A and B are shown apart, each in its own frame.
Chain A
Amino acid sequence: MSIKKLLKDSLILAALMILVVFAVSVIWSGVTEEIGLVIRLFILAFMITLANTLLDEYCSLTMIMSYVVKYFAISALVLLYGFIAGWFFASNFWMAFIYVGVVFILAYPIDSFRVKKDIEYINTQIAGRKTS
């Protein structure tokens, strides 16, 4: 059992718990401010995932360029959505770039490491295939 799998399962379980708790709350008391926020976050997460998938599918760029393009595309998406949802004011809209930037700074080394590990694994398996 790896830490990665434990964290992944915990996050999935947390998302399910939030959905169930809020679904029950909607039935009892309708869409409150907090429930509205969770629904808006789910919609934003869906839009970001969709944009990420489409960029992966249709843009063949180097890893760094891919991250730069995604950073600006997703920041623009968060910015636009934030204004529509009323999360940002004219004075603090730049916060969207910081939020997205922090996520990307954390994601880039993790992604690089994962790619390196996957390549090592595949090449080891190929080498094993040759010797067996």
Chain B
Amino acid sequence: MQIITKEVKDKPLTVTIEYPERTEFVDGLIRKIESLDISFSADDNGRQLKLKLAEVYYIENVERKLFVYGAKEVYRLNAGAAELEERFKDSGLVRISRTCIMNTDHLKEIRQLRNSRLEAVLDNDEKLIVSRKYLKDIKRVFKKG
């Protein structure tokens, strides 16, 4: 794969992908680039802000309210759970339990604990409990590339 970059003044950032044949790899690449442009509207103590998907580690549903967790900070998310899943179904976000959606781009490792529970370790060393039921969904994200 060749990567060509060039500066073009007074034009929005444009990514062009040229391929001899549209393969799963190409689809994965397109999804990855599209996901970089996804942003969330969040609330930080009354202050509205936009968060890029890359900044999101996981999203938690606490008593029907959605909270988005970054490397260190937490914000209230301005979206419903159903809307969220629909909008980010092709990104690296994946449900890992009934109340938690994880960004697999920040996943460092999946571990099986002694009591056979599953644990996801993120690159900020935060640990999340993974329900076995959703393990195949995490695997699917990695298969998509």
Contacts and interface: CB of A to CB of B under 8 A. Distances in A.
Interface in A63-122: 63-64, 66, 111-112, 115-116, 118-119, 121-122
Contacts of A60: 97, 129, 131
Interface in A35-70: 56-58, 60, 62-64, 66
Nearest to A128: B142
B22 interface: no
Specify the main secondary structure of chain A where it touches its partner: helix
A10 interface: no
Contacts of B131: 56, 60
Contacts, number: 48
Contacts of A125: 142
Interface residues of B, number: 21
Chain A's interface size range is 10 to 19
A129 B119 CA distance: 20
21 contacts: A56-B131, A56-B132, A58-B98, A60-B97, A60-B131, A63-B116, A63-B117, A64-B116, A111-B132, A118-B135, A118-B136, A118-B139, A119-B118, A119-B135, A121-B142, A122-B110, A122-B139, A123-B110, A125-B142, A126-B108, A126-B142
Given A56-B131, A57-B133, A115-B135, 18 more contacts: A56-B133, A60-B97, A62-B115, A62-B117, A63-B132, A64-B116, A116-B112, A118-B136, A119-B111, A119-B112, A119-B118, A119-B135, A121-B142, A122-B110, A122-B135, A122-B138, A122-B142, A126-B109
